[in-house]
A and B are shown apart, each in its own frame.
Chain A
């Protein structure tokens, strides 16, 4: 007999009461709102002509720095209540460990979806406000959001696993923080090495290239095609990583 998933999700919802977890993605979202506002208000009028391209070039880099931190905090907030309260030995008498892991993951993913959706709405809103010259390509927006969400979800699986198998939240927080730095540095690594750093994948599927002319000191953004198959391979690897994370958590004796 397996417990209906809806009841398990409802239990996760009840557990999150009073935790104010939604403040975490909201806080990071507001940070991005302010950061984008600053970028756009300080940009030259010429840059605003290609405003969307500029955002799609810069946002993935920003995500590489801040999203691992956000995901770490969300996973930690959702999981440390189980560790502190020593609840797993009770929960596992009512639900399968794998089911528990899945529902906890869905609970975390919900915040990532809200964050990503907010992001998706913010970009065209800024485009309107600042009167970007070029039109917004929906395919570009969706590919950007898909990469952001997919990378976030893979990192969530890793962080959730660390938070559930560690007796304190120190290790997951250190890993999240280190991942953030490593992700950023990986953008400067040779491609084969950078491919090994999951935290850097926010910026691993660029839709925009920057061309900076040393003589004229003019920056030009150019659109490039989306590496769809590479992205699918990454998503498949993500499913595999999720499976490993789930197995590690399930195998841990409580």
Chain B
């Protein structure tokens, strides 16, 4: 699968602080690339670097197979759409008038505005002044603006920020439908792991400006270790018995766990405990959640 975005040691430094530190992004074509990280990790800065809104301190950016520089930046970005931080709009104009301004700048026919308004389901509100829109409507208008001119790539920075649950679901559905319907590659940033989990096919995790994980979402899930939890009527005694029987066991979050998942070992542990007179109340398997993985990777509490 070819990469729509590739960066090579992309760096942005403000004074002595590296906001983005030697980032090597690879966004496969046709994917929804979830760009995940805690607040202040460098997500927006990275997206702004990709769009040429800020200049990198070092490194290279390749978008749609071309290295981006100041000369070709706009011609490359003509094939992209973006929604950065918050929707951009002219509050004194209607939704349709807003889109027509972008049509003019992108040199696409005004009929495009009608097409994208249909996609984001805003045809009924198109003549209302944007200043009177709810945040959810503004976000959808922002997405419509990004879709003008049928871009090959969409960069969406926290597109569900500030939306109510219904708005979040609506936006998520819209984003998920785009690669299949229109063949668009999407980079969507978020600090919400659950959101990325529901949308993305690929994930990049950034923390302190550094990319600490990048692969498919399924690969991230594979990182989740599973544990066998034992509930007994005397856990301290049970642990002693298991150790004496040389069965790999220990404590995790106050629970008695087996460190291996082989069925034979589980049976051996249960037998050892029962023979020693320990009452085995429950044996079950627990998987490391994505939150645990995120915590493990970033060392930070994740937003849910």
Contact = CB atoms under 8 A, between A and B. Distances in A.
A3 B101 CA distance: 14
Interface stretch (B77-85, B193-201, B227-235, B294-302): B77-85
A86 B106 CA distance: 18
Taking residues whose C-beta sits less than 8 angstroms from the other chain, chain A's interface range is: 20 to 34
Interface in B72-93: 72, 74-75, 77-78, 80, 82, 84-93
A92 B52 CA distance: 8
B89 A11 contact: no
A6 to B, nearest CB: 10
Nearest to B105: A94
Interface residues of B, number: 32
B268 interface: no
Interface in A1-26: 1-3, 7-8, 10-11, 14-15, 17-19
Interface in B130-147: 130, 145
Contacts of B90: 15, 81, 85, 87
A215 interface: no
A94 B102 CA distance: 8
A11 B105 contact: yes
B91 A7 contact: no
Dominant SS among interface residues on chain A: loop
A253 B12 CA distance: 13
B105 A95 contact: yes
A91 interface: yes
B101 A254 contact: no
A46 interface: no
A86 B78 CA distance: 20
B266 to A, nearest CB: 55
Contacts of A94: 74, 77-78, 102, 105-106
B100 A14 contact: yes
Given A7-B105, A94-B102, A94-B105, A1 B48 contact: no
Interface in B43-91: 48, 51-54, 72, 74-75, 77-78, 80, 82, 84-91
Contact of B101 (A2, A15, A19, A96): A15
B20 to A, nearest CB: 14
Nearest to A84: B91
Nearest to A1: B75
A90 interface: yes
B104 A2 contact: no
A93 B93 contact: no
A89 interface: yes
Given A1-B72, A2-B74, A93-B52, A87 B105 contact: no
A249 to B, nearest CB: 14
B74 A254 contact: no
B82 A93 contact: yes
A18 B105 contact: no
Interface in B85-133: 85-93, 97, 100-102, 104-107, 130
Contacts of A85: 88-91, 130
B93 A17 contact: yes
Contacts of A8: 105
Contact of B104 (A1, A11, A17): A11
Nearest to A99: B74
A87 B89 CA distance: 6
A254 B92 contact: no
A92 B51 CA distance: 9
Contacts of A254: 48, 53-54
Nearest to A9: B104
5 contacts: A14-B97, A14-B104, A90-B145, A93-B82, A94-B74
Interface of A: 1-3, 7-8, 10-11, 14-15, 17-19, 81, 84-96, 253-254
Interface of B: 48, 51-54, 72, 74-75, 77-78, 80, 82, 84-93, 97, 100-102, 104-107, 130, 145
